[in-house]
């Protein structure tokens, strides 16, 4: 970075001479070093998948989840600093509860995303705080708009997607997602593809073990974990795909 080390990266409220906010860029780097998270929007729901890296063999399996239920019809996951992601999940739950108390109806996925994005952006405005080191995927099923999927960046900007990825394997995962026919794909098919993409994206870091975390929000508007049998089948197919590629 041309201006790095000249004092312009000491505060999130300071621009460099070329108009950059380095602390936001550093937060983005934290995201790029984290385990991959993927979201896809199918014809009838949203599927989320996470490469949950295991830093120690002593950890209890499933004790450090990265996919969170926000409301009955909305789920959230993130890549980056895990503590920041959990904080944003808690904030999203507060926003959903506040909306329900105020308007006596459940929030839409986009409205919730807008509120979370404004909260994230506020942490780029003041020298007394730092930007969140996490990119957040928010997905759910609205009664009117159907399946919805958004990503909130550390800058506070958010985008709507048919399929998205954040984390270390972002570029590879996006390329693979673009090959899928998401408009006609069922949620079960999407689970198989998400598992395959995460396993292939993880292939560059074979020395690190990981847990595959899968969750979905179906047409009934309920967020649940993917059934164990389907998860195991997705893992089996992903491992088989990797073995076939190695043989070729």
Q: Write the pLDDT tens digit of every residue in 227-239.
A: 999 999 999 999 9
Q: Nearest CA to 195 among 178, 175, 211?
A: 211
Ranges of beta strands (E only) in the chain are: 37-41, 46-53, 67-71, 74-80, 134-142, 146-152, 158-160, 163-166, 210-217, 223-225
Mean pLDDT of 154-165: 97
Instruction: Give the confidence band of 1 by pLDDT, cuts at 50, 70, 90.
Output: very low
Domains parsed from the chain with CATH numbers:
22-247 (3.60.20.10)
What does the pLDDT read at residue 173?
Answer: 96
β-pair type (146-152, 210-217): unpaired
7-51 pLDDT, tens digit per residue, is: 888 888 889 999 999 999 999 999 999 999 999 999 999 999 999
CA neighbor of 133 nearest in space, from 153, 112, 113, 116: 153
Please give the model's pTM, rounded to 2 decimal places: 0.93
Q: So what's the pLDDT on residue 8? A: 87
Answer for the pair 187, 218: CB distance below 8 angstroms, yes or no: yes
154-210-177-236 Cα dihedral, nearest 10 degrees: -160
Longest dimension (CA), the chain: 59
Tokens of 31: 């995201």
Mean pLDDT confidence for 186-191: 96
Alpha-carbon distance of 164 to 160, in angstroms, equals 9
């Amino acid at each position: 970075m041309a201006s790095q080390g000249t004092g312009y990266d000491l505060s999130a409220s300071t621009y460099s001479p070329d108009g950059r906010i380095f602390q936001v860029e550093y937060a983005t780097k934290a995201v790029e070093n984290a385990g991959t998270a993927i979201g896809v929007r199918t014809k009838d729901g949203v599927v989320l998948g996470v490469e949950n890296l295991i830093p120690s063999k002593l950890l209890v399996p499933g004790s450090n989840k990265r996919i969170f239920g926000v409301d009955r019809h909305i789920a959230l996951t993130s890549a980056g600093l895990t503590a920041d992601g959990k904080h944003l999940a808690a904030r999203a739950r507060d926003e959903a509860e506040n909306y329900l108390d105020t308007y006596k109806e459940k929030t839409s996925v986009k409205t919730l995303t807008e509120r979370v994005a404004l909260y994230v952006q506020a942490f780029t405005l003041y020298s007394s705080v730092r930007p969140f080191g996490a990119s957040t995927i928010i997905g759910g099923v609205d009664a009117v708009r159907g399946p919805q999927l958004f990503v909130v960046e550390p800058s506070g900007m958010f985008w709507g997607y048919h399929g998205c990825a954040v984390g270390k394997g972002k570029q590879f995962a996006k390329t693979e997602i673009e090959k899928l026919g998401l408009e006609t794909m069922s949620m079960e098919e999407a689970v198989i593809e998400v598992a395959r993409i995460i396993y292939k994206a993880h292939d560059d870091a074979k020395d690190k073990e990981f847990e595959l975390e899968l969750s979905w929000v179906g047409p009934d508007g309920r967020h649940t974990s993917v059934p164990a049998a389907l998860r195991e089948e997705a893992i089996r197919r992903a491992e088989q795909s990797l073995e076939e590629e190695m043989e070729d």
